[in-house]
Amino acid sequence: MAIAALAAGCARQHPAGEAGAGPEERMAERVRQAYTQPDAIAAAAYTWTSPLGAVFVLVDVESGSAGVTQARADLWVAADSAPERLGRSDVMPSAASIGAFAFEDVTGDAIPDLLGYVADSAGTSFPIFLTGARGSMGDQIELAAPGYRFSAEPEAAPRVYGGPHGPCGIQLWAAAPVPDSQPEGWRYLLVRRGGDLAPPASQPPSCP
């Protein structure tokens, strides 16, 4: 079965104070207003609307304390009611910001997932994959591919890949030296049931 890489840039970012009256813009601003403590700043917000109309907002929550560099991701959802938080990642020490390559339903459970990156204060970035259905939202790339160094640079940016029925995994560029003893290049991590990632493969597996 042929695998087609899905276009990057699926994450819709909403800067603070963005003008606009669309439901996603309004919801992103409502979620930002929930952060009232000065030590937690709601920076970037990314949105995705489910086929049933629920709006999901993922917020890059950065430290507002002087001399402290750390960030976490919070996931919120709302339909006709006030937004509720669904999940939160661990605090990531030394992370200056969290960004997105794609924020969409990759796992097929009608809840969006983040294929993104963490950037430190020096500008060094590495990719992360957070599954929205898990309240703890741990990085699945780190668990599935220990020892790999994956690129988060624009020329080799992570991407979602899929088949005729939609997304089924992620595609990452592995830099040398590579633990599988093969040349550096693209590796493919299939999404398993429950949101786990399969170990990296050098050839794209068939989507279920």
How far the first Cα of the chain sits from its last, in Å, is 9
pLDDT single digits (tens) 155-191: 999 999 998 888 999 999 999 999 999 999 999 999 9
Q: Which of 12-16, 108-112, 116-120 has the lowest mean pLDDT?
A: 12-16
Residues in the chain: 208
**Residues 114 and 101 sit within 8 Å (Cβ to Cβ):** no
Lookup: tokens for 80: 């006709």
The span from the CA of 127 to the CA of 139, in Å, is 9
Q: Given this model, what pLDDT does residue 5 score?
A: 36
The span from the CA of 44 to the CA of 120, in Å, is 15
Domain ranges of the chain: 4-190
Q: How many CB atoms lie within 10 A of CB 79?
A: 12
Q: Which helix (H) or strand (E) holds 165?
A: none
Phi, psi dihedrals of residue 143, rounded to the nearest 5°: -75, -40
pTM over 0.75: yes
Mean pLDDT within 119-138: 89
* Residue 112 CA to its chain's centroid (Å): 9
Q: Given this model, what pLDDT does residue 3 score?
A: 33
Q: Given this model, what pLDDT does residue 194 score?
A: 81
Q: Given this model, what pLDDT does residue 8 score?
A: 39
**Residue predicted with more confidence, 14 or 124:** 124
Q: Given this model, what pLDDT does residue 13 score?
A: 66
pLDDT single digits (tens) 31-79: 999 999 999 999 989 999 999 899 999 999 999 898 899 999 999 998 7
Q: Given this model, what pLDDT does residue 133 score?
A: 84
Q: CA-based Rg of the chain, rounded to a whole angstrom?
A: 17
42 to 90, 134, 152: CA distances (angstroms): 16, 21, 23
Q: Which residues of 17-55 are buried (b: 16+ CB within 10 A; e: fewer)?
A: eeeeeeebbebbbebbeebeeeebbbbbbbbbeeeeeeb
Q: Given this model, what pLDDT does residue 82 score?
A: 86
Q: Given this model, what pLDDT does residue 187 score?
A: 97
**Residue predicted with more confidence, 199 or 67:** 199
pLDDT single digits (tens) 3-23: 333 333 346 666 555 555 688
Residue whose entry in the numeric block shows the structure tokens 């403590």: 37
